[in-house]
Amino acid sequence: MTGAPIKVLAIDDEPPIRKLLRMGLATQGYEILEAPSGKVALEKLAEEPALIILDLGLPDIDGHELLRTIRARNESIPIVVLSSRGDEAGKVKALDLGADDYITKPFGMDELLARLRAALRHQLQAQGERPVFRTGDLSVDLVRRIVKLGEREVKLSPKEYDLLRVLVQHAGKVLTHRFLLKELWDELTDAQYLRVYVRQLRQKIEADPERPQFVLTETGIGYRLRAPD
């Protein structure tokens, strides 16, 4: 990592976890800000971190409420939830409230670093959306509405393209079923319709639809499009 270090605000009430994050992230050139509580975390926002790691089990403020507050103050800052809570409902709620990703403790540092890089890439993409999105041999021209695998153009139905477009706009980020249904059908449609269109889209853009490389399933939560290269 070159240039000025990226500030990461680590919000966690467990000293061993904060120490692990401090040591693991510092070796990669990140600057670490630490907050053992929600109150301190809100104060640390004044130091303008570029990315937030948030534990939901804080002693003073409910983690979901803190997430809601942070997102209301800053719409674009990447937030990666790092929590011992593995229940599906908690994950979905955090993602719907604006978390960019969700990792369950115990975690591997290499995976966490990869997720942080993906969240930062997504932020950069959102700030200046590129007219042509590329990941692997998949390219999506968002201006001309042309989808290609290598040099071969892929014909999509309007709804298949709309689904892919939403995934592209949030590439690298987990999108919940609820979010996608709201974006594509105003949430009035059964989730089975979403599964059908995901399956159809995979049939057209995946080399092996049963082992997708682009449209990835987050079991019980939603879908994630592979981040741009």
What CATH number did the domain enclosing 85 receive? 3.40.50.2300
Q: What is the mean pLDDT of residues 43-47?
A: 94
Cβ atoms < 10 Å from Cβ of 217? 13
Q: Percent of the chain, pLDDT > 90? A: 62
| Within-domain flag for 153 | yes
Domain boundary among 69, 97, 127: 127
Q: Are residues 21 and 99 in the same domain?
A: yes
Structure tokens at 138: 């998949």
Residue 1 banded pLDDT, cuts 50, 70, 90: very low
Same domain, 98 and 58: yes
Among residues 97, 127, 157, the one where a domain terminates is 127
14 with 113, same domain: the answer is yes
pTM of the predicted protein model: 0.66
Angstrom distance (rounded) from CA 106 to CA 132: 37
pLDDT at 2 over 60: no
Band of the pLDDT at 185, cuts 50, 70, 90? confident
Residue 66 has pLDDT above 70, yes or no: yes
Residues 90, 202, single domain; the answer is no
Question: Is residue 1, in this structure, part of any structural domain at all?
Answer: no
Q: Residue 13: which of 34, 43, 42 has the closest Cα?
A: 34
Of 127, 151, 175, which closes a domain? 127
Residue at 96 is within a domain: yes
Percentage of residues in the chain with pLDDT exceeding 70?
Answer: 92
Number of domains comprising the chain: 2
In a domain, 32, yes or no: yes
CATH number of the domain residue 148 falls in: 1.10.10.10
Domain interval for residue 212: 132-225
Going by C-alpha positions, the residue among 68, 100, 82, 64 that lies closest to residue 25 is 82
- 17-34 exposure pattern, b = at least 16 Cβ within 10 A, e = fewer: bbebbbebbeeeebebbb
